[in-house]
Chains A and B, each alone.
Chain A
Amino acid sequence: MDPIIEFSHATLGYGRKIVLNDISFSILPGEYLGIVGPNGAGKTTIVRTILGSIPPISGEVRVRSDSGGALRIGYVPQRDTIDYVLPYTVSEVVMMGRYRQIGLLRRPGARDRDVVKQALVHAAVDGLADRPFRDLSGGQKQRVLIARALATQPEILILDEPTNGMDLPSRVSVLELINELHHGKQLTVIMISHLLDDVANHVRRIALVEPNFFQVGHVDEVLTADNLSSLYQMPVRVHHHHGSTIILPGGSHGAQ
């Protein structure tokens, strides 16, 4: 199986400012990859490079569909990048995910409305279709943004800090939805988060990101007490309990 995303000795950054130096990894179809690291480590830089918003400074980044064409990416941004002044309804927001497919100078048709309806159902927000997006709770907004990403009929779903600033029930609900989409629809998923627990218990492969430290591998190989203590410059413990990974600050350095 060929990778759909491949970083080959890529140096990433903005203009001449290097954020990540000489990183190599790939993502296969159907994978669920978590990208974790402290704030400002370069997680979003990786995503922006995948999205094509910034080119690699050097090296190569290949993003291609299974079919060899352009990869259809469903992107779920951080909620605070969205402007809430105008009260667009949930349906209108999800329809924005269709705008690329609809094309220039054309209006949404019956097929677009069907796709939007399905996306709303998948994300369990069909009951909110006529509500203004800005009036929703954080968890509901996140589900709507996931529905909008689904409306693009993506081959890969990329979520940037999807549970940031949410209460526990909303976090669990959003993470379960992402799991369902990954397993049920066989979607390739990349989830970026600085919340280690969220990622550790849902993904199989993880990328640990810091400017001078980049490691990709199985969760158990990467999320070790030594790695995390070194990354965060403080003692960190990693416990496994009934199949769940629990990450805690402090304690003995190497505890597992």
Chain B
Amino acid sequence: MELSEIVRTILQDFPYALYGSIMVGIICSFIGVYIVARRVVFFGAVLTQVSMLGLAMTFLPFFALPHSIGALVVTLVSAVILSRMLTGKKIPRDAVLGFVFVSSIAARILILQKAPRVEASEIENLLRGDILFVTPEIFFMMVGAFAVAAVVHLLFYKEFTYISFDPESAQTQGFNAGIWDMVFYLVAGVVISFATHMVGDLFVFGFLVVPAMAGMLLSRKVRTIFALAIAAGIVAPIIGLFVAFRFDFPTSPSIVAVACVIVAGAWVASVVRGR
């Protein structure tokens, strides 16, 4: 396939794949900077699995909600519980996240074994998400989640910054670290839930970690780190989609691989600059 043909195919036949993956790229990269800075990278992986559990649960007769809503409900409940457990002192954060991670996967597998309505392979396809089959409905739901996340982060930039950097001092100034943490994790939960449903867990987890790394490798200014992470979140899906079509690769792994190449380039650049 030639470049012009690929571009035409993507824009005509899979426009929401392009727009959706760029949107998920932007918002996950932005939230990812905070997640990496808070040292809760595994949180992203956990919420993608929780979201998939919620989606799987919608196949159960007593939880027969629309897939996106089921995934959202379970993800938000988990985000609230996690935000409380992650600040506890008795059990290390990694152990808490690991517990939720394995229990979500185990529960999902058990549920799928007993799901009465459709073939397990169909459910797995739905759970994994596929960029090429993003529907306008899911895309516009993602637009809503994007808008909520953007507005909350714009309005409460100060609070999220302070709580991430020095929660103890923030608390002494009257900022309730527990509440602000919960708001942060809830917003992340909304984004991760819809994004996982739309583009799959590999894409979402990849973009919660990889673009933030590129930003941190290339810049010593916080705003520039956010800007570079978002730029990587825009560029990687565009190039990744092209690579997938050109070489007949699966889309999500292609896009994440391109993001990883960007990080490798950023690392080389940072070494050359002697940072």
Contacts and interface: CB of A to CB of B under 8 A. Distances in A.
Interface residues of B, number: 29
Interface string A76-100: 0100011101111100110011011
Given A75-B169, A77-B169, A88-B165, A99 B159 contact: yes
Contacts of B162: 96, 99
Query: Of B155, B165, B225, which is in contact with the most chain A CB atoms at under 10 Å from its CB?
Result: B165
Interface in B109-123: none
Given A87-B221, A87-B222, A96 B161 contact: yes
A73 interface: yes
B275 to A, nearest CB: 11
A102 B174 CA distance: 13
B165 A51 contact: no
Contacts of A140: none
B6 interface: no
A132 B159 contact: no
A97 B171 CA distance: 12
Interface in A101-124: 102, 104-105
A82 B166 contact: yes
B contact patch SS: helix
B220 interface: yes
A152 interface: yes
B205 to A, nearest CB: 19
B165 A53 contact: no
Interface residues of A, number: 26
B103 interface: no
Nearest to B220: A87
B183 to A, nearest CB: 12
Contacts of B175: 99-100
B166 A77 contact: yes
Given A75-B168, A96-B166, 8 more contacts: A51-B171, A81-B168, A81-B169, A85-B37, A85-B38, A87-B219, A87-B220, A152-B173
28 contacts: A51-B171, A73-B172, A75-B172, A77-B166, A81-B166, A81-B167, A81-B169, A82-B166, A83-B37, A83-B38, A85-B36, A85-B37, A86-B165, A87-B219, A87-B220, A87-B225, A88-B161, A92-B222, A96-B169, A99-B158, A99-B159, A99-B173, A99-B175, A100-B174, A102-B158, A104-B159, A132-B220, A148-B169
Interface of A: 51-53, 73, 75, 77, 81-83, 85-89, 92-93, 96-97, 99-100, 102, 104-105, 132, 148, 152
Interface of B: 33, 36-39, 155-156, 158-159, 161-162, 164-175, 216, 219-222, 225
